[in-house]
């Protein structure tokens, strides 16, 4: 195992190494490959939040009746944001996603999926949490139908919320 300490510097390329290399190469060349958006088809946005971050994926259904990723999003929460309630984090995941996905979803009807059932109220702006009400009002500019899905069905956004990646610069 080349990743362990105090291993010899010379690499011995075994059959096991070759199999691992072939499997890695096949994995890197296979789905999920990002698809180009088709603005004539509806979009699906899934979001999730964890203790450390938020994640989202923009997808579209392909000719094979499967949903394929168009954009992946991930953001690490700041120290202040990490102390928000889970409802605030889940709502922020939606706000963040739609802000970043604005060029794709603005002016189009799309589906938004979350595994946080409490956000079903999002389009009605009820409650006494001013931050959630403010975000709810901002989201009313978008034309979406919110759907609750199980956490087990939200694997991609869940994984992205747990592992944040640096935002591109420039």
Q: Which CATH number is 44-162's, of 3.90.105.20, 3.40.50.1820, 3.30.420.10, 1.10.3720.10?
A: 3.30.420.10
Q: State the pLDDT confidence band at 125, using cuts at 50, 70 and 90.
A: low
Residues 76, 89: contact at Cβ < 8 Å? no
Q: Per-domain residue ranges for the chain?
A: 44-162
Cα(90)–Cα(136) distance, integer angstroms: 12
The proportion of the chain whose per-residue pLDDT surpasses 90, expressed as a percent, equals: 38
Confidence of residue 43 (pLDDT cuts 50, 70, 90): very high
Give the per-residue pLDDT at 139. Answer: 85
Neighbouring residues of 63: CB distance < 8 A, sequence distance ≥ 6: none
């Amino acid at each position: 195992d080349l990743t362990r300490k105090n291993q010899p510097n010379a690499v011995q390329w075994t059959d096991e190494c070759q199999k691992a290399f072939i499997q890695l190469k096949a994995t890197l060349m296979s789905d999920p490959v990002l698809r180009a958006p088709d603005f004539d088809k509806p979009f699906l946005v899934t979001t999730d939040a964890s203790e450390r971050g938020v994640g989202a994926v923009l997808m579209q259904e392909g000719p094979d009746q499967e949903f394929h990723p168009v954009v992946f999003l991930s953001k690490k929460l700041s120290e202040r944001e990490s102390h928000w309630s889970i409802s605030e984090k889940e709502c922020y995941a939606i706000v963040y996603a739609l802000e970043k996905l604005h060029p794709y979803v603005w002016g189009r009807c799309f589906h938004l999926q979350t595994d946080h059932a409490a956000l079903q109220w999002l389009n009605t702006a009820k409650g006494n949490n001013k931050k959630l009400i403010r975000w709810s009002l901002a989201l009313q500019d978008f034309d979406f139908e919110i759907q609750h899905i199980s956490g087990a069905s939200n694997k991609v956004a869940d994984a992205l919320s747990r592992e944040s990646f640096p935002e591109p610069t420039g």
